[in-house]
Copies of this chain bind each other. A is one copy, B any other.
Amino acid sequence: MPYNQTRQFAAQLMIDLPALASNYKLCQTRVGPHCEVAAAVKADAYGIGISEAAPVLAGAGCKSFFVATLEEGIELRALFGSAAHKIYILNGLQKDAEDIIDFHSLTPVINSLHELELWAAYAKRTRPYLKCALHIDTGMARLGLTPDELEHLQNRIGEFADILDIEIVMSHFACADEKGHPFNEIQAQKFQNAADSFVFSKFSLANSSGLFRKDDWHYDMVRPGMCLYGLNPTPETDNPMKPVVKLAVPILQRRPLPEGKSVGYGADWVAASDTELATIQLGYADGFARLAGNKAKLYWQGHPCPVVGRVSMDLSVISLENVPRDLLPHPGDMIEVFGPHQSVDDLACDMGTIGYELLTMLGKRYNRRYER
């Protein structure tokens, strides 16, 4: 009675790896052969599992990978084995991490003049022309050189060009998901102005949404994340990407609830009429955030089943009010969370959040199945 035989009782998370590869290739087609498509694989490849996702992306042609943290970079380097694939650390160069980054053949995304000085000093101590990317802040005010730092650097550019190889100059959009948001053009213009100072570097600006918005923003490299994993980079239109994630969870119990009776913690949902409920094995400990309570809906054979009452740690309750009586599900039947009737983006919208958050908070208790 091995452990994995039990997994038929758990929620089923299915990850479509060919769809991931297809999404990567669509990005490459969109930008054309002269622009490199890197992949953002931070946060465990947006929750789908970097150890499965990264080799598939590499197989689809990806050569450059962006992670957030040093630890993610080390994990990915161990996965790839050789240094044939480039791995960039978005969160930058932390003090005293120089030799570790170098040892694992990782490339820091330099986010400040201070980090640039640290990396240059390390290059002086070890060997010249160490590679890095350079992040110019054009409006996120999160990471990257400030306008003052950029101006300062422009006056000292020769000093650093003698010791470092600034492979890529990059920036990051704040509002690319919003079509026509004026901030996008402001950022693009600032980036173009900054880029003019770096004659030996390649340039990279666009994330998933930026990539699908405007050819001028492609430069030498785009860095999609969310769209690879099937989220919609252009929310105002149909999603050009293939869905990558499906999630179905088992019904544990069905129960009638008389009019006037309440459901769940706080007893804050009350049945307006006699109704039929199902309790499902999905709670906030599985990443199904409490935001879903009284807001989200799941699907049974195409019929929407609203979540009633608060989401519990391990359980939620759905109403079967929209399901015809002869189609009512039974314990053990699997309810659709993400699938043909509801995308990750759809559910996130009902919950008042974004698909990225749902993906990266996917829990540990699912039976994960990778379709190859």
Residues of B within 8 A of A74 (CB): 3, 6
Judged by a CB distance under 8 angstroms, whether A95 is at the interface is yes
Question: Are A142 and B284 neighbours in the complex by a CB distance under 8 Å?
Answer: no
The stretch among A41-49, A152-160, A294-302 that forms the contact with chain B is A41-49
- Contact (Cβ within 8 A) A5 B100: yes
A35 at the interface (CB under 8 A from B): no
The count of identical subunits is: 2
A359, chain B: closest CB distance, angstroms: 9
Encode A197-237 as 1/0 by CB contact (under 8 A) with B.
00000000000000000000000000000000000000000
User: Roughly how many angstroms separate A137 CA and B357 CA in the complex, as a whole number?
Assistant: 33
Assembled-state Cα–Cα distance A309/B44 (Å): 24
**A252 and B94 contacting across the interface, CB-CB below 8 Å:** yes
Contact status of A285 and B114, CB under 8 A, knowing A146-B256, A317-B142: no
* Shortest beta-carbon distance from A174 to chain B in Å: 5
Point out the residue from B44, B71, B263 that lies within 8 Å of A7, measured CB to CB: B71
Q: Mark A248-282, 1 if CB is under 8 A from B, else 0.
A: 00101101110001111111000000000101010
Q: How far is the CA of A279 from the CA of B361 in the complex (A)?
A: 21
Give chain B residues whose Cβ lies under 8 Å from the Cβ of A140: 263-265
Q: Roughly how many angstroms separate A142 CA and B69 CA in the complex, as a whole number?
A: 40
Is B112 a contact partner of A266 (Cβ separation < 8 A)? no
Chain B: CB-nearest residue to A312: B142
Q: Interface code A1-25, partner B: CB below 8 Å = 1, 0 otherwise?
A: 1010111111000000000000000
| Residue of B9, B148, B264 touching A71 (CB-CB under 8 A) | B9
For residue A342, CB closer than 8 A to chain B, the reply is: no
- A340 proximal to B (CB < 8 A): no
On whether the beta carbons of A69 and B9 are closer than 8 Å, the reply is: yes
Determine if B97 and A9 form an interchain contact, defined as CB atoms under 8 angstroms apart: yes
Q: Which residues of B contact A356 (CB under 8 A)?
A: 284, 313
- Give A residues with C-beta under 8 Å from B: 1, 3, 5-10, 42-44, 46-47, 68-72, 74, 90-92, 94-97, 99-100, 103, 111-112, 114, 137, 139-143, 146, 148, 174-175, 178, 183, 250, 252-253, 255-257, 261-267, 277, 279, 281, 283-285, 287, 289-291, 309, 312-315, 317, 331-332, 353-354, 356-357, 360-361, 364-365
Beyond contacts A9-B94, A313-B356: 4 other A-B pairs, Cβ-Cβ < 8 A, are A7-B71, A44-B285, A143-B253, A291-B291
